[in-house]
Amino acid sequence: MSKEQKKGLQRIAAGLLVFACGFLVPEESTAAFGIFLFCYVLVGWDIVWEALKNLLHGRALDECFLMTLATVGAFALGAYSEGVAVMLFFRIGEWFEGYAVGKSRRSITSLMDIRPDYANVERDGALVQISPAEVQIGDTIVVKSGERVPLDGKVLQGHSLLDTSALTGESVPREVRVGAEVLSGCINKTGMLTVATTRVFADSTVEKILALVEQSQQKKAHIENFITRFARYYTPLVVAGAVLLAVLPPVFMGQPFATWFYRALTFLVISCPCALVLSVPLSFFSGIGGASRQGILVKGSNYLEALSKTEVVVFDKTGTLTQGEFAVRSIHAVGMAEREILRLAAHAEAYSNHPIAESIRKAYGDALDMESVKDAEELAGNGVCAVVDGKKILAGNSRLMQNGKITFEALQEKGTVVYVAADGQYAGAVVIRDELKKDAVLAIRSLQECGIKKTVMLTGDSDAAGRAAARALAINEVYTELLPADKVEHVERLLQEKSAKGMLAFVGDGINDAPVLMRADVGIAMGGLGSDAAIEAADVVLMTDEPAKIAVAIRIARQTMCIARENIVFAIGIKVMIMLLGALGYASLWAAVFADVGVAFLAVLNAMRAMRISTVSGSAADNPLVSGETAL
């Protein structure tokens, strides 16, 4: 609880004590008036002052104005206790609302604690503590046990366990050894690590997360915008209704003015829209906070709303549903030794950073003779072309062979096939296979359980590899051997096929996925080790790189929307009913204040449910591929 909240609670307690003392003297006495007036000033002077300031600046019709008008009117009628009760219980309701908002905000802003304060940098053989912003790429930093990793990098020395819960929501520590990537914001739990930085602080994982958190609070859902517009017209209408209620019956029906003025005040108190104005945004705020606890960063409540309407989920394959860790499984040689084919392919891929290229170089094992490689060129979506030892080498997919007019024999083996040609002659092929992520089957099954109408896979991989993965995962549709532009075309077609109210989500992790992520209704990126471009283009980021979290995000989004709608129906329904009773004389100011504060309090409590939405839909242990064969 903050100092401000403690002061507010103390003020309310003092107000309640003075309010109780007012009933110890005759209600119509001067002493009672003095006690209740003191209590009124104690608990409500700032609300009255805010109402006067707003009135002077042309912003009269807000909740402070409504409360001031109703309570001053009650004092004018001699209903001192009721006037104080309206202000006192309004203050109590405000305190509970503020506490709820603060708790929800802390669930998100607690991420701010992941920003590191310093970095231990090796300078002239000694460790120096400097600001992480001063560390450059390639600098060597030391992370001691118990310290937070200040920047992204690769482990040069050491072995330890990292607490990644602040980034991913996962409570199980992650083991890291030499060569492993570490992300800023994690806590080193055991041994000391020596790390070579790979990014400056401004581009680090922790800074990106904090930027996403700030963005998430700025983008409103349609239903939030509706409530804002609703309150803008609703408040003037109820004030006009209260004026008519106070004036028309006495003027045209000869009714007592005091009676109808009292009813108008009751009408005003009940009509205060704070339950709606606060609880609906709080529902989304809590939903975003609940998602962040699961390692899911949503960039705004508008994307949470779009997620709740998702009907079609489209996946990239490599790095999204598969681990992206390729390995050479077989070599098919034609006219030369297998080792020679692997050598030529490895040298042709020498300058490529694609996972397939890395797997070929890893399988070759020996050091590359870079002087023997000339005119290397990467052909997007096809492969590579390079001159190796004076020979023009083509290494890539079947499309590259066709474009080069190479006569070759297409392989139907599972996996990604890299065909190799030397000086226009087909030399053979290298077959590389990836493995499904442990929760990939669970991810698709969970989406089907969520009611997703269609799952689709778009991949640039070979037809055999793509269809094998789709069969293993039970995906509805699969399109293979696609260029980045082809993926965009397929997504645009799928956008036209879905229902008018439905949404399409695309899930990817690579640089070439950025255009598709931006074109989809909802772009979902793998954020743990996904590309910067994909994370920037996406609307939702999965910090754990687990596709099973997609169903969790959809479930949170749908339940958040349900909670927001419940609050709207509940608040409007109760208020309309009590407003009618108040206008007919069946509800007093006491009933009005309890109805207003009670509705707001219950709506806020309901909104807070979004913080702890149940997301259990199975576990990786249920996945039959965890202990079985996962290679594709």
Backbone phi, psi, residue 313, to 5°: -120, 120
Annotated active-site residue 622? The verdict is no
Chain-centroid distance, C-alpha 321: 20
Rounded distance between C-alpha atoms, residue 364 and residue 97, angstroms: 64
Rounded distance between C-alpha atoms, residue 631 and residue 557, angstroms: 33
Number of neighbours of residue 118 by Cβ within 10 angstroms: 16
Query: How far is the CA of 460 from the CAs of 316, 331, 362, 400, 477, in angstroms?
Result: 9, 21, 22, 13, 15
The one catalytic residue in 139, 163, 316, 521 is 316
Rounded distance between C-alpha atoms, residue 611 and residue 605, angstroms: 11
Is residue 168 within 8 A of residue 543, CB to CB? The reply is: yes
Rg of the Cα trace of the chain? 32
| Owner of token pair 């108008």 | 264
Is residue 466 within 8 A of residue 317, CB to CB? The reply is: yes
Buried b / exposed e across 330-346, counting CB within 10 Å, b at 16+? Answer: ebbbeeeeeeebbbbbb
Is residue 339 within 8 A of residue 420, CB to CB? The reply is: no
Closest CA to 417 of 384, 395, 387, 402: 395
Is residue 489 within 8 A of residue 499, CB to CB? The reply is: no
Give the pair of three-digit tokens for residue 486. 């082809």
Sheet strands side by side (includes 425-433): 327-333, 425-433, 416-422, 391-396, 383-388, 373-379
Sign of the alpha-carbon torsion through 19, 20, 25, 27: positive
Buried b / exposed e across 184-212, counting CB within 10 Å, b at 16+? Answer: bbbbbeeeebbbebebbbeebbbbbbbeb
Is residue 453 within 8 A of residue 312, CB to CB? The reply is: yes
DSSP, residue by residue, 463-503: HHHHHHHHHHHT-SEEE-S--HHHHHHHHHHHHHHS-SS-E
Give the pair of three-digit tokens for residue 582. 């108040």
Is residue 356 within 8 A of residue 344, CB to CB? The reply is: no
Residue type, position 539, single letter:
D
DSSP, residue by residue, 60-117: --SHHHHHHHHHHHHHHTT-HHHHHHHHHHHHHHHHHHHHHHHHHHHHHHGGGGGS-S
Helix (H), strand (E) at residue 340: helix 338-348
Is residue 315 within 8 A of residue 454, CB to CB? The reply is: no
Give the pair of three-digit tokens for residue 214. 């700030």
Rounded distance between C-alpha atoms, residue 41 and residue 50, angstroms: 13
Annotated catalytic residues are 316
